[in-house]
A and B are shown apart, each in its own frame.
Chain A
C-alpha cells in the first residue's frame, strides 16, 4: 500500500523535450514569446496551429537549426544550444527528423539516403546496411525496387515515405515529423498512422508531430498542443482542448472537417 501511494506521489518521468520561456523572432517580427512545452517519454504529441504560427520554427529550434532569441530548450535533459560536438552527435543519433518536403539527398539513391546516417555514425558491413535499408523500406510501405531509384524518380508520397525510412534509419528514440501525411492518399495516410503507432508501442518511441490531418490527430496523438498567439495555447487530449474557450480551437475541432474526423463524440 505504501508502495502504491509512493508511486502515485512520484513525479512524472523527466520530459524528453522541455521548453521554457522560448522567444523566436525574425527581425522585428516575433514568432514565439515566452513559449513553454513539455513532451513526455513514449507519447505522440501533435502540434497544430494556423499558417504562420511558427510550428516549423518551433521544430527547427528544438533540433537546433534555429537559434532562439531567448529561452531554454532541453532534449533528453541536455541543453541544445550548449552542446559540445560529441554531445551533439550523440543527441542527433537519438533523434530522427522528417522534413516537410522530404529533403532527400538528390544525388543519392533511396537506399544510399537511408544508409547515410548509418555510415556517419557506425562502422557496419555494407551487406547489413543493405538489409536494414531494405526492411526499413518495407516497413514504410515502399516496393523493393524503390531502393535503387533516385529521389527525382519518385512520386511525392514515395518521397515522403523514403524520407521517413531515413528518419528511422538509426532507430531513434525521438522522432520529429513535419506534416507527415500531407500529400499522401487517405489509405497511405492511415497506414502511416498505424506504422507510427506501432513503432511507438514496440520501441517506446516519442513523437513530435506537426500535422493538420485531423484523422492523424485523432488516431495516434496522445496529446495535442495548439500554437496560437505566439505561445502554446493549450496542451491535452482533444476533448480536453475542446473544453477550452478559444475561438480558433473551437472552429478547428468544431468545424465541419473536425466534426467529421472526430465522429459522433463531437456532434
Chain B
C-alpha cells in the first residue's frame, strides 16, 4: 500500500430522518472512491422498508462513478423491496452518471468457489497426470521434428546456418570461458586441498595428484561445465525462444516458410554440441592448474613433477570419456532448453516457469546421465 494523505471532506451520511412518510437520507462530502468503503459500510446497514426512500445529494461536493454506483445500488436494492426510491438534489450530470451505471449494472457471473476435499485432490492429481502425459507427447513431437530437421539439413552443408551457429557458439562458449575457468580452477584447488589433508595422514600426499588428475579429467571438469552451461545457456535458450513465441515471432517464421526448428533450435543445438567438448576440456585444464598450484604451494611439488606425474597416472581413456560425455550433455541441455522455450504460452509468468523448468530438468538429466555413463564406462573396462 502506498501512503496517501487522508482525504479531506469524506463522504458521509449527514442526516437520516423522515420527510412525510418517506425516509430521507441526506448525504454530504465528496462521494469518491477515496472514502467509498466508509459509505459502503454505512449503506450496508440500510435495509429496505415499507416506505419510500429519498436520497438527497444536494450537499455532495463531488460524485464520481464509485459514488454514483453506491447511490445506484442503494436505490436499486430499495426498489427491490417494493417501495419507490428517488435521488434528489443531483445535477443533471450526476443523474446521467447514475443512469449510465444503472445501464452498466448486470448480473455478475458467480465467482467460482475454490474446490475443496477429496474430489478436488483427485482432480488435481488427474490434471497433473494429464499434463505430464501431454508434456511427454509434446516432447516426443519436439524431438521428432528436431531430428527430422536435422536429417534434412545435415546432408546439405550449404543449408547450414553458420551465422547463428557461430553467434550462439560465441554466446555459449567464448563468453562462458571466464566463469567456467574460474569455477574449475577453484574446484581443482579445493579437491587438492581436501585430498591432501586426508592423504597426509597416511603419508601418501603424493597421491593427491592422482586424485586431482582422475577426478577432474574424468568427471568433474565436464560435469561442472554442464551444470554451468545448463544454468547459463539452457535458461537463455528457453527465455529467448519463449519470448519470441509470446511475441508471435515463431508464428511469423512459420508464415514466411521458415521452420522454427531449423532457424531457432538447430543452430543452438549444433553450437552447443560443437563447443561443449572444448569448454569441458578447458574446464579440466583449469582444474588441473588449480590443483597443481595447491600442490606447489602446500606439498612443494613443482609443476614439472606435477605434469609428469599426471601423464603417468591419468589414462587416455579418462580424456576420451570427457570428450564423449560433453556432446551428450550438450544435446540434453540444448533440447531441454529449446523444448521448454517452445512450450511457452500466454504470459510472462509462463516464460519464467519454463526457464526454471529448463534449468532444473537439464541439470537433473545431466547428473542422471552421468551416473549411468559412469557405470557404462566401468563395464567397458575403462577404469
Asked if B4 is an interface residue, CB under 8 A from chain A, the answer is: yes
Q: Is the CB of A131 within 8 A of B69?
A: yes
Q: At the interface with chain A, which of B104-112, B294-302, B319-327? A: B104-112
Contact of A106 among B1, B40, B111, B347 (CB under 8 A): B347
Q: Is the CB of B104 within 8 A of A135?
A: yes
Asked if B194 is an interface residue, CB under 8 A from chain A, the answer is: no
Contact of A203 among B65, B69, B109 (CB under 8 A): B65
Q: At the interface with chain A, which of B89-97, B162-170, B334-342? A: B89-97
Contact (A151, B347) CB under 8 Å given A125-B40, A130-B108, A139-B104: yes
Asked if B312 is an interface residue, CB under 8 A from chain A, the answer is: no
What residues of B have a CB within 8 angstroms of the CB of A60 in the complex? none
Q: Is the CB of A121 within 8 A of B104?
A: no
Contact of B93 among A89, A125, A139, A202 (CB under 8 A): A202
Nearest neighbor of A198 in chain B, beta-carbon distance = B100
Interface size of A as a range: 35 or more
Q: At the interface with chain B, which of A63-71, A140-148, A251-259? A: A140-148
CA A194 to CA B313, docked complex, whole Å: 85
Asked if B64 is an interface residue, CB under 8 A from chain A, the answer is: yes
What residues of B have a CB within 8 angstroms of the CB of A89 in the complex? 2-4
Q: Is the CB of B37 within 8 A of A125?
A: yes
Restricting to A139-190, which residues have a CB under 8 Å from any CB of B?
139, 144-145, 147-148, 150-152, 168, 170-171
What residues of B have a CB within 8 angstroms of the CB of A128 in the complex? 36-37, 40
What residues of A have a CB within 8 angstroms of the CB of B36 in the complex? 122, 124, 128
Asked if A107 is an interface residue, CB under 8 A from chain B, the answer is: yes
Contact of A123 among B1, B96, B109 (CB under 8 A): B1
What residues of B have a CB within 8 angstroms of the CB of A134 in the complex? 106, 108
Contact of B69 among A135, A147, A152, A198 (CB under 8 A): A135
Contact of B111 among A90, A130, A135, A139 (CB under 8 A): A130
B101–chain A nearest beta-carbon distance, Å:
6
B11–chain A nearest beta-carbon distance, Å:
13
Q: Is the CB of B348 within 8 A of A107?
A: yes
Asked if B346 is an interface residue, CB under 8 A from chain A, the answer is: yes
Q: Is the CB of A93 within 8 A of B4?
A: yes
* A–B Cβ pairs within 8 angstroms, 11 of them: A86-B4, A107-B348, A107-B349, A123-B37, A125-B40, A130-B111, A132-B69, A136-B65, A201-B93, A202-B97, A203-B65
Which residues does B use to contact A, with CB under 8 Å?
Answer: 1-5, 32-34, 36-37, 40, 64-66, 69, 73, 93-94, 96-97, 100-101, 103-109, 111-112, 345-349
Give 19 new A-B contacts, CB below 8 A, not counting A106-B348, A130-B108, A131-B73: A85-B3, A89-B4, A106-B349, A120-B1, A122-B34, A122-B37, A124-B37, A124-B40, A128-B37, A135-B104, A139-B100, A139-B104, A144-B107, A147-B108, A150-B347, A151-B347, A152-B347, A203-B65, A203-B93
| Nearest 9 CB-CB pairings of A with B | A106-B347, A138-B104, A171-B64, A152-B346, A89-B2, A107-B349, A202-B93, A202-B97, A135-B104
